[in-house]
């Protein structure tokens, strides 16, 4: 029930219970710092009547990438704006669905939505409550990209990946940053895994808390990674507004390609996306 899912629970108690019940495979798990967050922007995906995304908050990337290269990752999907690939479902969740089908020359379809030009923010807490898809070659992601991406290009604009999952390993997610001198295979990254929980079986909260000289990555309010300028081999570029992206890719050089055992269709369900600023 969506209404039940949005009851506020003490972050400290929730984090303790999850760790006590399931454990995690990360090292040096840190305690949650309490900050005075104020909501700055959100989408609760409650427009069930129409099923359509709020176009004052989101737009779509369409196609196979500007260079016809699978968005730079050799991905196989064609991103569309169709309801078959992105819709608010009857439970009030955003469903981004990857399908195996022939479409515009591609063998798969999916959706990639973004707040570019509609909402951008520097610093604060960015979070989303998500239930992931699964299966070999399925690549869901919740991430941020520098709002200056068109003018300076990637990776100079910076990229913050709050959650990426290789579908063949549904109990492990990664939090990553890319920038000049630490992009692609040289990115700064760390994984988080529960021992007995898969991220496709239930919703989990993925977040980053971002300040002038740090990025803190959370799963279910457990802090599992802090990145500071001292961790980087290149320039810290996380000092300007970023926008939000949600997508489900199929295949690509990050995780490999679907197999005959990969189930389709596969949906990433998003309960909400919220962004906060820190009250002074």
Helices (H), the chain: 2-5, 11-22, 149-152
Residue written as token pair 């910076």: 158
Examine the residue annotation and report whether 159 is marked as an active-site residue of this protein: yes
DSSP string, 237-274: --SS-EEEEEEEEES-TTT----TT--SSEEEEEEEEE
Neighbours of 104 (CB within 10 A): 10
- Checking DSSP bridges between strand 77-79 and strand 106-110, what pairing results, if any? parallel
- Options 164, 195, 202, 278, the catalytic residue: 164
Strand runs labelled E in 49-199: 59-61, 77-79, 86-88, 94-103, 106-110, 112-114, 124-131, 138-146, 159-164, 172-178, 188-193
CB-based contacts of 150, cutoff 8 Å, min separation 6: none
**CA–CA dist 72, 143 (Å, integer):** 16
Examine the residue annotation and report whether 164 is marked as an active-site residue of this protein: yes
- Options 75, 77, 120, 159, the catalytic residue: 159
- Give me 92's structure tokens: 């009030």
The rounded Cα 37 to chain-centroid distance in angstroms is 20
Return the closest-CA partner of residue 145 out of 134, 130, 156. Answer: 156
**Catalytic positions:** 159, 164
């Amino acid at each position: 029930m969506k209404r039940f899912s949005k009851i506020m629970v003490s972050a400290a108690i929730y984090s303790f219970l999850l760790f006590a019940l399931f454990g995690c495979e990360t090292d040096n798990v840190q305690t949650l710092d309490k900050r005075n967050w104020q909501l700055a922007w959100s989408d609760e995906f409650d427009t069930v009547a129409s099923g359509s995304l709020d176009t004052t908050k989101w737009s779509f990337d369409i196609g196979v990438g500007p260079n016809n290269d699978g968005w730079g990752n050799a991905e196989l999907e064609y991103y569309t704006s169709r309801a078959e690939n992105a819709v608010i479902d009857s439970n009030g969740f955003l469903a981004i669905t990857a399908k195996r089908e022939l479409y515009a020359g591609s063998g798969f379809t999916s959706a990639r939505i973004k707040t570019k030009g509609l909402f951008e923010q520097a610093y604060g807490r960015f979070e989303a409550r998500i239930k992931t898809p699964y299966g070999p070659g399925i690549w869901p992601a919740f991430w941020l990209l520098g709002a200056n991406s068109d003018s300076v290009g990637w990776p100079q604009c910076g990229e913050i990946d709050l959650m990426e999952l290789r579908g063949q390993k549904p109990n492990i997610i990664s939090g990553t940053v890319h920038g000049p001198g630490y992009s692609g295979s040289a990115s700064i990254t760390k994984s988080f895994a529960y021992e007995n929980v898969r991220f496709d079986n239930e919703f989990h909260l993925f977040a980053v808390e971002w300040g002038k000289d740090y990025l803190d990555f959370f799963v279910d309010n457990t802090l599992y990674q802090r990145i500071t300028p001292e961790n980087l081999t290149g320039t810290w570029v996380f000092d300007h507004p970023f926008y939000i992206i949600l997508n489900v890719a199929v295949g690509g050089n990050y995780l490999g390609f679907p197999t005959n055992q990969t189930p389709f269709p596969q949906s990433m369900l998003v309960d909400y996306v919220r962004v906060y600023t820190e009250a002074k």
